[in-house]
């Protein structure tokens, strides 16, 4: 890692336990919740909510608890209450499958509307929810008017990708990324062993040029950052920021297993 990058990556601890780093010069606050806060732009970013994952399994005969959407929205609501962002960007795979929106409990669905009120609410498409969001966009009148972003039932708008300052927000990280790429999709997690115990936590991964967010959803599993699918995206050893109970821990690459 070159000296300039190391400089920008030296994390600053915030009072709330979050870590602050710079990616392409932009201040990025890595939150304990797993969300990314861009204070300069008043923008909150969360990846891979996978809403209604529990009911997706139930529909196929495995009765996982139906409380995952509620748990995920609880955490999102807490972040909105604390940070009061002007803009919320969900990095794709916000819904687990194409029928997730229809399966949401009325309470949860209504809460989504409430959370999106009075702010710019942006959905990026992911591989899991392209169809779900696509179905929402079949709106002939809006289509005719050239307004491709409006949705039928959901609040907010859908965009394929989004630039925020020097950052470029998308769902799936590219092998040859544009500088400033912020992506989700991989659900990275880090494993360390200490005091004869293994600890595994969802994590952020960044080398100062690009940033990968952990999954925000309550039932989402993870992929070890040492897996080539994650590690292979970085030419140099990135920094890993693992989510603790009330703080984010910066981990050295060598301490991972």
Partner 1 sequence: MTTLPPLFADWFARRGWSPRRHQLEMIAAAQAGSHALLVAPTGGGKTLAGFLPSLIDLAERGPRPEFGPGSGIHTLYVSPLKALTTDVERNLMTPIREIGLNIHVESRTGDTKQSKKQRQRDNPPDILLTTPEQLALFCAWGGARAYFADLKCIVLDEVHAIWSGKRGDLLNLALGRLQSFSPGLRRVALSATIDDPNLIAEWLAPGGRSEDVAMVRGDPGAAPEIDVLVSEGRVPWAGHTGQHAIPEVYAAIQRAQLALIFVNTRWQSEFVFQQLWAINDDNLPIGLHHGSLAAEQRRKVEAAMARGDLRAVVCTSTLDLGIDWGDVDLVIQMAAPKGSSRLVQRIGRANHRLDEPSRALMVPASRFELLECQAAREAVADNAFDWEPRHTGTLDTLAQHVMGVACSEPFDMADLYAEIAGSSPYRALTWEAFEEVVDFVATGGYALRTYDRFARIVRNADGKWTVRNQQIAQRHRMNVGAIVAAGTLNVRVASRRGGASKQLIGGRKVGEAEEWYFEQLSPGDTFVFAGQVWAFQGISGMDALVTHATGKDPKIPSWGGAQFPLGTSLAVRVRRMIQDRDHWRVLPPDVQEWLELQEQRSLIPDADSLLVETFPRGSRHFLIAYPFEGRIAHSTLCMLLTRRLDRLGVGPLGFVVTDYSLAIWSIRPMDALDWDALFQPDMLGDDLEAWLEESFMMKRTFRNCALVSGLIERRQPGAEKTGRQVTFSTDLIYDVLRRHQPDHLLLRTARADAASGLLDVARLGQLLTRIVGRIRHAPLERASPFSVPVLVMIGRERVGGDAADMILEASAQDLIDEVMEDAPPELQGAA
Closer by beta carbon to partner 1, 103 or else 209 = 103
Coil, strand or helix: which one is 27? strand
C-alpha to C-alpha distance for 222 and 243, rounded to whole angstroms: 13
Encoded tokens for 95 = 């819904």
With a CB cutoff of 8 Å and minimum separation 6, the contacts of 106 are none
Compute the distance between CA of residue 18 and CA of residue 160 in angstroms, rounded to an integer: 29
65 binds partner 1 (CB under 8 A): yes
Query: 37-56 mask for partner 1 (x: CB under 8 A)?
Result: ------------------x-
As a whole number of angstroms, the distance between CA 240 and CA 233 comes to 13
Distance of CA 112 to the CA centre of its chain: 17
Sole binder of partner 1 in the list 105, 116, 162, 250 (CB under 8 A) = 105
Q: Should residue 99 be labelled a site residue for partner 1 when binding is judged by CB under 8 A? A: no
The nearest distance, CB 256 to partner 1, in angstroms, is 8
**Residues in region 110-149 near partner 1 by CB under 8 A:** none
Find out whether 122 and 84 touch, Cβ atoms under 8 Å: no
Residue number with CB closer to partner 1 (62 or 140): 62
Binding string, residues 220-239; x marks residues near partner 1 by CB under 8 A: xxx---x-x--xx-xxxx--
Which residues of this protein are in contact with partner 1, per CB under 8 A? 55, 58-59, 61-68, 70-71, 103, 105, 193, 196-198, 200, 218-222, 226, 228, 231-232, 234-237, 257
């Amino acid at each position: 890692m070159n000296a300039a990058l190391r400089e920008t990556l030296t994390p600053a601890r915030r009072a709330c336990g979050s870590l602050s780093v710079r990616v392409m010069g932009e201040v990025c606050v890595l939150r304990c919740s797993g969300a990314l806060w861009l204070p300069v732009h008043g923008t909150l970013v969360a990846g891979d909510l996978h809403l209604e994952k529990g009911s997706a399994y139930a529909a196929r005969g495995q009765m996982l608890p139906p409380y995952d959407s509620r748990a995920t929205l609880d955490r999102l609501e807490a972040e909105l209450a604390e940070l009061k962002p002007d803009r919320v960007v969900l990095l794709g795979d916000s819904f687990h499958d194409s029928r997730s929106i229809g399966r949401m409990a009325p309470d949860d669905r209504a809460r989504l509307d409430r959370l999106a009120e009075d702010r710019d609410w942006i959905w990026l498409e992911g591989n899991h929810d392209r169809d779900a969001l696509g179905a929402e966009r079949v709106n002939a009148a809006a289509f005719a008017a050239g307004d491709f972003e409006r949705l039928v039932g959901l609040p907010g708008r859908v965009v394929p990708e989004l630039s925020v300052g020097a950052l470029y927000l998308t769902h799936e990280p590219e092998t040859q990324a544009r500088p400033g790429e912020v992506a989700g999709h991989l659900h990275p997690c880090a494993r360390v062993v200490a005091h004869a115990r293994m600890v595994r936590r969802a994590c952020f991964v960044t080398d100062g040029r690009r940033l990968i967010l952990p999954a925000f959803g309550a039932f989402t599993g993870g992929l070890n950052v040492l897996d080539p699918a994650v590690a292979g995206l970085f030419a140099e050893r990135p920094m890993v920021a693992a989510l603790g109970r009330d703080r984010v821990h910066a981990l050295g690459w060598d301490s991972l297993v």
